[in-house]
């Protein structure tokens, strides 16, 4: 009888310990709402943009957007090992934030009035310009030269919309899910030009396998203010990210990371924009 009492008491203690452990483990499986501990934060980036957001063959990630996102995550309380990178293609960025797939997105995400109706933006943290990537011997020198030409861009990009509406309405526009396909089409001669931000184009042109084949037209067809997208109404995260971006600029990290990622492409980048000020 005495043995049964001890056994019952031991079982009760064990049950409490298991329950406590279970509660503790569920708290650590965080998707990115708070830093510290063993929690994770999910961040959206591009996987196919050299110099900005690229998934390397060995499974690591590189690029300016990756460096910016890593710095911001650090200010939010997350170590690099706690970051889970999520590929967010241009056409799915708003949906990814609305679904809660990611905490924030740093993926050459141009701030536009249309997008601001669906998501909130921190920044801008970089100013790029829409341009054209063409072959070295191309005769395309201005936007209107695209009329009647085969042009490539990606689904959901502001660059494609800009060409169709204002620059060259008669261009034969082809859209792909990623820029890598467009660059391959340009190399093969299937298209005459690729349009997107000059920062993205410079990264592709600088890749070893494309060196000497392409050139940027240098047209500056638009101003593209890159912002960090957060879920609409998440003001707390928005303010923290803006504070992190200001510190990144002031402590010299922004300049260092820009030179590291764009230097090899000899890309003439703009100075760091002021947080909260959109360049029209």
Model pLDDT for residues 162-213, shown as the tens digit of each residue: 998 999 999 999 999 888 999 999 999 999 999 999 999 999 988 888 988 9
CATH topology of domain 128-216: D-Maltodextrin-Binding Protein; domain 2 (3.40.190)
- CA-CA-CA-CA torsion sign (37, 75, 276, 130): negative
SS3 49: strand
DSSP 8-state class, residue 175: E
Instruction: Select from 146, 277, 140, 118 the least CA-distant residue to 216.
Output: 140
**pLDDT for residue 3:** 42
Q: 41-127+225-265 belongs to which homologous superfamily?
A: Periplasmic binding protein-like II (3.40.190.10)
Run of H or E residues at 252:
none
**pLDDT for residue 107:** 97
Q: How many CA atoms lie within 13 A of 56 on its CB side?
A: 8
Query: Which segments of the chain have a pLDDT < 70?
Result: 1-38
Query: Can 41-127+225-265 and 128-216 be said to share one CATH topology?
Result: yes
| Phi, psi torsion values for 131, nearest 5 degrees | -145, -175
Average pLDDT score over the chain:
88
Instruction: Select from 72, 88, 83, 121 the least CA-distant residue to 231.
Output: 121
* Angstrom distances, CA of residue 33 to CA of 25, 48, 116, 280: 16, 27, 22, 33
Ramachandran area for residue 121 (φ above 0: left; ψ -120 to 50: alpha; else beta):
beta
**Domain layout of the chain by residue ranges:** 41-127+225-265, 128-216
Distance, in Å, from the CA atom of 2 to the CA atom of 232, rounded to the nearest integer, reads 62
């Amino acid at each position: 009888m005495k043995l049964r009492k001890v056994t019952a008491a031991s079982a009760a203690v064990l049950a409490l310990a298991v329950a406590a452990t279970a509660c503790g483990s569920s708290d650590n499986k965080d998707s990115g709402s708070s830093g510290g501990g063993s929690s994770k934060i999910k961040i959206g980036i591009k996987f196919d943009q050299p110099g900005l957001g690229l998934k390397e063959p060995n499974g690591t990630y590189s690029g300016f957007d990756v460096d910016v996102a890593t710095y911001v995550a650090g200010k939010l309380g997350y170590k690099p090992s706690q970051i889970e990178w999520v590929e967010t293609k241009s056409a799915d960025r708003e949906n990814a934030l609305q679904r809660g797939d990611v905490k924030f997105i740093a993926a050459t995400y141009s701030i536009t009035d249309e997008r601001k109706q669906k998501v909130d933006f921190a920044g801008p943290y970089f100013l790029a310009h829409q341009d054209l990537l063409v072959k070295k011997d191309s005769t395309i020198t201005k936007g209107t030269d695209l009329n009647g030409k085969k042009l490539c861009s990606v689904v959901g990009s502001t660059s494609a919309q800009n060409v169709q509406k204002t620059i060259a309405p008669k261009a034969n526009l082809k859209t792909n899910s990623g820029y890598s396909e467009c660059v391959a089409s340009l190399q093969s001669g299937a298209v005459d030009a690729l349009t997107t931000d000059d920062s993205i184009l410079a990264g592709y042109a600088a890749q070893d396998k494309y060196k000497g084949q392409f050139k940027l037209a240098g047209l500056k067809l638009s101003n593209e203010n890159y912002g960090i997208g957060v879920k609409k109404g998440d003001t707390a995260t928005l303010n923290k990210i803006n504070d992190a971006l200001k510190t990144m600029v002031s402590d010299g990290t922004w300049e260092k990371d820009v030179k590291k990622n764009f230097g090899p492409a000899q890309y003439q980048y703009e100075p760091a924009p002021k947080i909260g000020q959109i360049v029209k």
